[in-house]
Structure 1
Amino acid sequence: MLEQCRRYLDYQGVHYCRPEKAGALAGDMIALRNVAQAARKEFQTLSLVLAEHVSPFVPERVSQWMNQAQICRPHFWTYYRLPSASLTDSALAIRLYGKETEAGISVEVSFIERKKVETSLLQQNRVLNYSIAAPLYYWVQEGQTFYRLDGTEENRQSLLQAVEAGRIRKVLVKYDVPFRTVTSEEELLERLIQGFSLLEPYLKMTHPAE
């Protein structure tokens, strides 16, 4: 199940060099590139299959397998938007996370930082206006630190106050599907669809009133 993606997770942070410039490491770089491209294609296939089950959400392109500094970036993601949504709005997304036995795919409500506008954070943090319970949880940015908080009413109220006070920059709502908890890609797909269903009310909260 997603064997290429899981294999590529081991390359997190590795610097890729074009084989023709890699000297004695040319063979290693070719092998790395092959794994990376196969992993991205595998994740892309999953994202397209999922799209067939979560209409009217439309998937965007899968993230690239390395960043501009040519550092391997195996935690692929894909954003899904409604046809009426702006590129600056919050959206649903799936994201590969973890490594080895702790790897999986999460569904989240978030926005693309490089496309944010003045109102992006305000809209995103409206996810706190909707009640929450497990298995959903919060992913919080406080300064330059990121951390997880359980999806409880107590934490929701605490985060509302912290956002109002300016201590918290951003709050995502997430749903994890660890690979160790599913036995097939069909079951993985079902769980991701469930994640979309659970998170859709939070996405609606982020959209400004018409």
Structure 2
Amino acid sequence: MDYQEKLQAIRDFIPYQGDKYISPGKAGVLASQMEAVKTQAQQARMAFTDLAKSFEKQVFDFQLQRTSQWMNQAQILRPHFWVYLIEKSQSVQSPALALRLLNDVSGLGISLEVSLIERQKNETTLYQQNQVLTVATHSELYYFAQIEGTSRRFPMTEANRLELTQGIEAGQVRKVQVKFDIPDLTVFPDESSLLAELKRGWLLLQPYYQATKIPL
């Protein structure tokens, strides 16, 4: 698939967000519909994975992990794929960088973030993750903080950095990610121009990622 075909494959699957998937063998009269959904889901996941693999080639010493599945264990469809890139010298229990699809009023986009794999975390991972708050703010990035089970976006200002730091110390804030968004993938004429913008975001995130690699 070329770049535009990849975007179209992803866009075609987005409307199925939250729908229930039924195995065609158990779907009765919906069997053909479920087969079509499965095909769209697989094509969309492949398109996202191909974009991620192209980006992996731009960032040395980082290894791409498996792309998220197109449905969860309850067979609910989830087209907003994500994938982690882990530095080869680091454990999967350490904070890493991740690519995540976005879809909002701005269109189909992608987010690059300093984040952690929840199912792999250990007793120090959250402490390491929250060291992103020790780095000076940058206007092109933002914080994404989990507070009492709800994740909220915070502009990256000095006031918010201090507020979130105090929230961590008080036990009110669980974790803070740092994110760089590309809101609309369609503004890029080809894959190489998207990769160049992703690489720029990657470089902006490096000080925050490096801050999580504190000696323990």
* TM-score category, normalised to shorter length: over 0.9
> How far does the alpha carbon of each residue in 1:3-39 deviate from its partner, in whole angstroms, 9 at most, with x for none?
1112211111111111111011111101110110000
Alignment of 1:15-26 (within 5 A): 15-26=20-31
1:69 aligns with 2:77: no
SS in 1 for 2:173: coil
Aligned length: 210
Shift of 1:102: 3.1
> How far does the alpha carbon of each residue in 1:85-124 deviate from its partner, in whole angstroms, 9 at most, with x for none?
0010000110001246432100000001111111111110
TM-score (norm 1): 0.95
Shift of 1:208: 2.2
Find the counterpart in structure 1 of residue 204 from structure 2.
198
Of the three residues 99, 102, 111, the one matched with 2:107 is 102
Quote the Cα distance in structure 1 between the aligned partners of 2:188 and 2:95: 31
- The runs of 5 or more residues in structure 2 that have no matched partner are none
1:176 aligns with 2:189: no
Percent identity between the aligned chains?
A: 46
Shift of 1:152: 1.0
Quote the Cα distance in structure 1 between the aligned partners of 2:72 and 2:185: 28
Deviates more, 1:155-164 or 1:98-107: 98-107
Of the three residues 81, 85, 89, the one matched with 1:84 is 89
Of the three residues 113, 116, 136, the one matched with 2:118 is 113
TM-score (norm 2): 0.93
Quote the Cα distance in structure 1 between the aligned partners of 2:186 and 2:10: 17
Deviates more, 1:115-124 or 1:181-190: 181-190
Q: 2:71 is matched by which residue type in structure 1?
A: M
Of the three residues 51, 69, 79, the one matched with 2:56 is 51
Find the counterpart in structure 2 of residue 27 from structure 1.
32
